[in-house]
Amino acid sequence: MALRSPNKIVCVAENYSRDGQSSGMSPLVFIKANNAFNPSNHEVKIDIGLRTWGEPELAIVIGKPVYRVAQDAASQYIAGYTLANDVTCDDPDGRDHHLARSKSADGFCPILPFYDDCFQPDEQKITAFHNGELLRSAVLSDMIWNPAKIVSELSQWMTLEAGDIVLTGAPPRVRDRLFIQPGDIYRCEIEHLGSLETVFK
């Protein structure tokens, strides 16, 4: 199904078992602005003065408005899933990297232009490659907060609307972080869902 521009992009961080977050904690949540939405050319211009990196993420597409739904009913509000790259850079003042500039520069949410309404997250592998080198890897079942739990938790304090996108967190790194330079290619993959290449300039 074709993806449409969302009202908002809500993101969960530190959501994999190797991130060190306890399953008893609430998820860490932040927002990416709509100008970051990038379903077409997947090209991203970066500021070479700021360290920049990518993060592969399973993305939930909300199918209908949801507010205060129980976890066991949350799946009926999920229209399907797609694959996104949560591009991030350092804040120029060296503070919290979840500030607006670090997450919401133009094009900082490359995403496949479609979603799969039959895909069911389970043991599929999620990976990222920087210029062909494996950087991140896990299986979707490693998520602490699965999609139904995420939608339920978010809906307790905010209304999720039809077309909204929820990023579910990046898998752990399998090597030290590599920072992006102009000309680099960052590829995200989820088994049986798709592959997404972002070209940086």
Q: What is the reported pLDDT for 97? A: 65
- Best CA proximity match to 151, nearest among 35, 49, 62: 62
- Joined together, the tokens standing for residue 153 give 């938790």
First to last CA, the chain: 29
Mean pLDDT per segment of 10 residues, for the chain of length 201 residues?
A: 96 82 73 95 89 97 98 98 96 74 94 97 98 97 96 97 98 94 97 97 94
183 in Cβ contact with 130 (< 8 Å): no
pTM: 0.94
Return the biggest CA–CA distance within the chain: 46
